[in-house]
Structure 1
């Protein structure tokens, strides 16, 4: 019986597990991750405004792993041996005949003073810090920003920052406190949200203007201070800073012996196969893939890549060649607490809708539908 190891417990990893089990009911599947739990990261945007709690977004995977007949190994991966056939963790080693790496990315925390900023997508504790800071503030300036990895432009989390910004703006208005706060949005890019398309950029900037959100765009970041954001184009006061830096690969990639992109991600081909490697695949934020410059790092893409990776790995294990590819597709709802704007982009189309309350509820419905599999 062939043994496949999946590294990670996020979107790409769990989708890979489901696809592997569907295609091969008898396959031996090992999963390595720090905990047997799944955190629904898109829901972090609702923690600061009280629409979600840690309990709502954290799901135990024990039942899911039993149904999928998965052997779970708690631990943090530290490297690979024997050309990837052995995964080394801080809790032992796991052998495999095939490997799928879906362990996510890592935020680049090199900017001086970055300890003064909260990185929301790092997880529930970060979102709760924003919630608690907001609750303690009666007035002040709140700054929201993001940057990319200049050596890996697609490795960024811009979309959620728009959601934190617009959601908190709307929440402050609903609670009658917006006039006590100044909101500032900053990024080194001159046109924030270009990955979403030109229509989205115009819509985002127009929304900021209508809502009285000040912008500081097109200036390289220099540093943060306890109450200040400093860029090459000037500085401004901030009582609370929420900032999403660019992303790179996991630290253990450097000890993996696998090829890395200039930005530190695992180099993959169009089949999600790590370049030049036998029976080693990557899905989601861990990889650097060929495709259009706007191709996003988001859960939807991780799912598409994971399905292709699982299918191709099983083909290799059966003596065949990888043939499954993934579609470069951006699908998101930019939520604003009680409304939302839907954005879709592919090679052929770019659709941006006006803000509508129905899209907010559609995003919540999708969350319920997606998590249903793990709540069984």
Structure 2
């Protein structure tokens, strides 16, 4: 029986598991991650307001793994050997006949003073820290922003910051405290959210103006301090800083000979293969894929890439040519805690629908629908 190893328990990894089984693969499946759990990162935006708790978003994968006949190894990947046929881990080597790397990306924490900022999408602990800090504040300035990877601008996850921003505004208004706070949005980009499309950028900036959110755009970031954000265009005070830096590859990639993109991600082809490493695939934030410069780093895109990777690996193990590719598709609802703007983009069209309550409830319904498959 063939042995397949999957690194990670995020969107791409779990979708790869499902797709492999759906493709009729009867291989011995091993998933490697520190814990047998899945954290639904899109729901982190609702933690500061109390719409979600950390445990609402943490899914124990024991039953899912049992249904899918998966062996979970609680470990961290540390390297590769034998041309990819051996995954080195913190608990020892794991041999495979096929490998899918879906271990996500890593935020670049090199900006001076970045320790003074909270990175919201680092996980549940970060979202809870935001909740607790805001609850303890009687007023002041909350600054929120994001930046990209200077060597690979597409390696970024800026979308959630708009949701934290608008969600914070909604939260403070519902609490009757908004007049005591100043919200500032900052980013080096002159037109933030450009990957969503021109119409979306205009809509986001209009929404910021409507909500009386100040902006500091188009200036390269220089540093953070406990009470200040400094850019090449000047500095401004901030009592709480939320910042999403650009992304790069996992640290363990450095201990391998896997080909890297300029931004440090794993290089991939249109079939999600890692060039030069037979039957080694990558999906999600860990990879750099061919496509338009607006290709998103989001769970939906990771799912599409993981399906292609799993289909191709299954084909190879059955002696067939791997031909599956993935469509490039951005699909999201920019949520505000009680409404949302729907954005869709492919290489053929770009749709932006204005904010309405229906989209907020659709986002919550999707969360329920998506998570039930892992419970």
TM bracket (short chain): over 0.9
Q: Does 1:111 align with 2:111?
A: yes
Distance 1:253 1:25 in 2: 28
Cross-structure match for 1:215: 215
Deviations 1:288-325 (A, max 9, x none): 00000100000000000000000001111122221000
CA deviation after TM superposition for structure 1 residue 22, in Å: 1.2
Shift of residue 25 of structure 1? Answer: 4.6
Deviation at 1:263, TM superposition (A): 0.5
CA offset digits 1:186-244 (Å, max 9, x no partner): 00000000000000000000000111000000000000000000000000000000000
Cα distance in 2, alignment partners of residues 239 and 199 from structure 1: 32
1:330-370 deviations in Å (ceiling 9; x for gaps) = 00000001000000000111000110000000000000000
Partner of 2:272, secondary structure, is coil
- What's the counterpart of residue 31 of structure 1? 31
CA–CA distance in structure 2, aligned partners of residues 53 and 279 of structure 1: 39
Q: Distance in 1 between matches of 2:264 and 2:2?
A: 30
Whole-angstrom distance in 1 between the partners of 2:296 and 2:116 = 27
Partner SS for 2:354: coil
Other-structure match for 2:257: 257
Whole-Å separation in 2 of the counterparts to 1:35 and 1:297:
23
| Matched residue, 1:187 | 187
Matches within 5 A, 1:198-277: 198-277=198-277
Q: Distance in 1 between matches of 2:296 and 2:91?
A: 33
Residues 25 and 314 of structure 2 are in contact (CA less than 8 Å); yes or no, is this contact kept in structure 1?
A: no
- 8 Å Cα contact 2:15-2:303 kept in structure 1: yes
* CA–CA separation in structure 1 for the residues paired with 2:90 and 2:102: 18
Aligned to 1:339: 339
Q: Could you state the TM-score of these two structures normalised by the residue count of structure 2? A: 0.99
Partners of 1:27 and 1:293 lie apart in 2 by 36
Q: Structure 2 CA distance, aligned partners of 1:256 and 1:318?
A: 27
CA distance in 2, matches of 1:141, 1:88: 46
Aligned residue number for residue 10 of structure 1: 10
Q: Structure 2: how far apart are the matches of 1:25 and 1:97? A: 13
Distance 2:153 2:29 in 1: 33
Q: How far apart are the structure 2 equivalents of 1:363 and 1:275?
A: 37
Say yes or no: does 1:139 pair with 2:139: yes
- 2:152 and 2:103 mapped to 1: Cα distance? 17
Take 1:262 and 1:239, find their aligned partners in 2: how far apart are those partners?
Answer: 35
Query: Deviations for 1:87-113, whole angstroms, at most 9, x for unmatched residues?
Result: 011111110000000000000000000
User: Counterpart of 2:164?
Assistant: 164
Paired positions, count: 375
- Structure 2: distance between partners of 1:329 and 1:150: 23
3-state SS of the aligned residue for 1:163? Answer: helix
Q: Tell me, which stretches of 5 or more residues in structure 2 are unaligned? A: none
1:303 matched residue in structure 2: 303
Q: Quote the Cα distance in structure 2 between the aligned partners of 1:272 and 1:229.
A: 39
| Alignment partners' CA distance in 2, 1:198 and 1:51 | 31
Instruction: Give CA-to-partner distance per residue, 1:12-53, whole Å, 9 cap, x none.
Output: 000000000111252211110000000000000000011000
Q: Which runs of 5+ in 1 are unaligned?
A: none
**Which sits farther off after the overlay, 252-261 or 228-237?**
252-261
**What's the offset of the Cα at 1:277?**
1.8
1:41-88, Cα deviation, whole Å (9 max, x unpaired): 000000001100011000100110000000111100000010110001
Task: Give the 3-state SS of the residue equivalent to 1:50 in structure 2.
Answer: coil
Question: Deviation at 1:276?
Answer: 2.2
Question: How far apart, CA to CA, are the structure 1 residues paired with 2:364 and 2:190?
Answer: 31
